[in-house]
């Protein structure tokens, strides 16, 4: 069971979360509870570190920032004890959960659950400080923001848990953002691959890495609300999903930009000459399209977050000055958004992309860039049509009705 920052924001909420734990204990489970820091605390600690040292030593950043989870873990263990649920807290190094030495963005290498399982044998449930581990050098590491989800999935895998319940402030995964259309529907089940597309496409329910990890180790994730009872959404292997619709979700990213390089040479190496400097400048390039060549010249279009546009144009202009690209013009459009339809059913159904394009055309929405994968189709459109596009697609693919 994993509780995020808003679910443990104060002592009342910790007590509320502990009630969920007690319910599972009373149902006969051994429970490992992974907790985040109390809402806001990690931000406070990050701010202290950044004020002291803008280019901080990431090892000290980790030592400071991991302390928030230690507080919540101890308080949760005490709260459970007060409810007659025997429990003890574990910090990352106590388990130990060993990570690599990439401080601030560490990756988990191994979790030795033998001591914890011995304590389960003694009737002691576990409360684990999320987000943190220990490096091979014995320093504290953290997994990156949102890392407690990843901690939870990793512990579920290591312990061979029946389920990993992610308690959050929403009651499950929706077909799309309910603030955009009242017809958005909570999904009972969703396949890992679909969740991964939705997570990386901007649905903020789960950290992408945690879903990858769950998929690799076949950990069944149940996303549910801390604040109301409900079945939640099970993220699971597609074999567990008997009937699925062709499209299960619509994701979007509002603040996208489109940058086009006009009149570049259509020859080997030009893509590397463009995207190499962009990567070095830390620009997160998403979609890429190259137009058909005419007279040996072509256009190259890519999308990136609006916030990355200044860095992107600076990097491209710098590359141009050293004659490493050679373009006639840069055209920037910062008024676009990305909409994606996602569904494992696409694999076995044709005509899904066509239906998406026809739906958007019927609303008079022009498509600027298209990319597809096996289970998704993404389009870039004018930002002002974003809500209209999501609603139209939600209706066109009957997402308001269960399969």
Q: Does 217 bind a second copy (CB under 8 A)?
A: no
The single residue among 16, 74, 102, 355 that binds a second copy, judged by CB under 8 A, is: 74
DSSP string, 16-78: HHHHHHHHHHHTT---EEEE-PPTTHHHHHHHHHHHH-TT--HHHHHHHHTHHHHHHHHHHHH
How far is residue 120's CA from residue 86's CA, in Å, rounded to a whole number? 10
The single residue among 6, 43, 70, 332 that binds a second copy, judged by CB under 8 A, is: 70
Stretch that binds a second copy, among 47-55, 276-284, 373-381, 386-394 (CB under 8 A): 47-55
Nearer to a second copy, 103 or 383 (CB): 103
CB neighbourhood size of 162 (10 A): 10
The single residue among 19, 40, 82, 162 that binds a second copy, judged by CB under 8 A, is: 82
Q: Which of 283, 247, 237, 213 is nearest to 378 (CA)?
A: 247
Q: Which of 223, 236, 218, 315 is nearest to 276 (CA)?
A: 315
Q: Does 386 bind a second copy (CB under 8 A)?
A: no
DSSP string, 176-197: S-TTT-TT--B-SEEEHHHHHH
The single residue among 48, 272, 362, 402 that binds a second copy, judged by CB under 8 A, is: 48
The single residue among 9, 36, 42, 61 that binds a second copy, judged by CB under 8 A, is: 61
Q: How far is the CB of 91 from a second copy (least distance, A)?
A: 7
First to last CA, the chain: 28
Stretch that binds a second copy, among 1-9, 89-97, 207-215, 331-339 (CB under 8 A): 89-97
Label residue 24 left, alpha or beta by phi (over 0 means left) and psi (-120 to 50 means alpha). alpha
Q: How far is the CB of 155 from a second copy (least distance, A)?
A: 18
Q: How many chain residues are in contact with a second copy, going by CB under 8 A?
A: 36
Q: How far is the CB of 66 from a second copy (least distance, A)?
A: 8
Q: Does 112 bind a second copy (CB under 8 A)?
A: no
DSSP string, 72-135: HHHHHHHHHHHTT--EEEE-GGGTTEEE-S-TTS--EEEE--HHHHHHHHTT-EEEEETTEEE-
Q: Does 78 bind a second copy (CB under 8 A)?
A: yes
How far is residue 30's CA from residue 392's CA, in Å, rounded to a whole number? 46
Treating both helix axes as pointing N-terminal to C-terminal, what angle do 67-82 and 11-26 enclose, rounded to 10 degrees?
60
Q: Does 16 bind a second copy (CB under 8 A)?
A: no
The single residue among 6, 24, 46, 71 that binds a second copy, judged by CB under 8 A, is: 71
Question: 361 burial class (0-12, 13-18, 19+ CB within 10 angstroms)?
Answer: exposed
Q: Does 3 bind a second copy (CB under 8 A)?
A: no
The single residue among 4, 33, 85, 93 that binds a second copy, judged by CB under 8 A, is: 93
Q: How far is the CB of 70 from a second copy (least distance, A)?
A: 5
Pattern 233-252, binding to a second copy, x per CB under 8 A?
A: --------------------
Q: Does 138 bind a second copy (CB under 8 A)?
A: yes
Interaction site with a second copy (CB under 8 A): 11, 14, 45, 48-49, 51-53, 56-57, 59-61, 63-64, 66-68, 70-71, 73-75, 77-79, 81-82, 88-89, 91, 93-94, 138-140
């Amino acid at each position: 069971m994993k509780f995020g920052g808003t679910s443990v924001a104060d002592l009342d909420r910790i007590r509320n979360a502990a009630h969920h734990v007690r319910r599972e204990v009373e149902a006969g489970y051994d429970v490992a509870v992974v907790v985040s820091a109390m809402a806001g605390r990690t931000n406070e600690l990050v701010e202290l570190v950044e004020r002291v040292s803008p280019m901080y030593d990431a090892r000290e950043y980790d030592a400071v920032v991991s302390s928030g989870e230690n507080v919540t873990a101890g308080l949760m263990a005490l709260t459970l004890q007060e409810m007659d649920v025997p429990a003890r807290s574990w910090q990352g190094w106590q388990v130990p959960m060993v990570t690599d030495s990439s401080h601030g963005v560490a990756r988990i290498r191994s979790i030795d659950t033998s001591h914890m399982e011995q304590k389960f044998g003694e009737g002691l449930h576990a409360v684990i400080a999320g987000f943190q581990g220990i490096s091979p050098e014995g320093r504290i590491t953290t997994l990156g923001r949102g890392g407690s989800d990843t901690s939870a999935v990793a512990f579920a895998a290591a312990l061979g848990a029946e389920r990993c319940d992610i308690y959050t402030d929403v009651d499950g995964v929706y077909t799309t953002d309910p603030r955009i259309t009242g017809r958005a529907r909570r999904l009972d089940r969703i396949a890992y691959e679909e969740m991964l597309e939705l997570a990386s496409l901007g649905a903020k329910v789960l950290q992408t890495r945690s879903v990858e990890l769950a998929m690799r180790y076949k950990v069944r994730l149940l996303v549910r609300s801390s604040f109301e009872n409900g079945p939640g959404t099970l993220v699971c292997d597609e074999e567990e999903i008997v009937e699925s619709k062709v499209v299960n979700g619509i994701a979007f990213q509002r603040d996208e930009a489109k940058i086009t390089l006009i009149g570049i040479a259509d020859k080997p190496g030009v893509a590397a000459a463009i995207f190499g400097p962009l990567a070095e400048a830390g620009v997160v390039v998403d979609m890429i399209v190259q137009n058909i060549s005419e007279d040996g010249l072509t256009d190259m279009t890519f999308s990136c977050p609006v916030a990355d546009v200044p860095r992107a144009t600076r990097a491209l202009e710098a590359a141009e000055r050293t004659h490493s690209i050679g373009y006639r013009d840069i055209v920037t459009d910062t008024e676009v958004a990305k909409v994606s339809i996602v569904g494992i059913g696409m694999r076995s159904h044709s005509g899904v992309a066509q239906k998406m394009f026809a739906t958007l055309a019927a609303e008079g929405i022009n498509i600027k860039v298209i990319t597809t994968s096996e289970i998704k189709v993404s389009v870039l459109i004018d930002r002002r049509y974003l809500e209209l596009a999501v609603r139209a697609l939600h209706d066109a693919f009957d997402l308001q009705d269960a399969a």
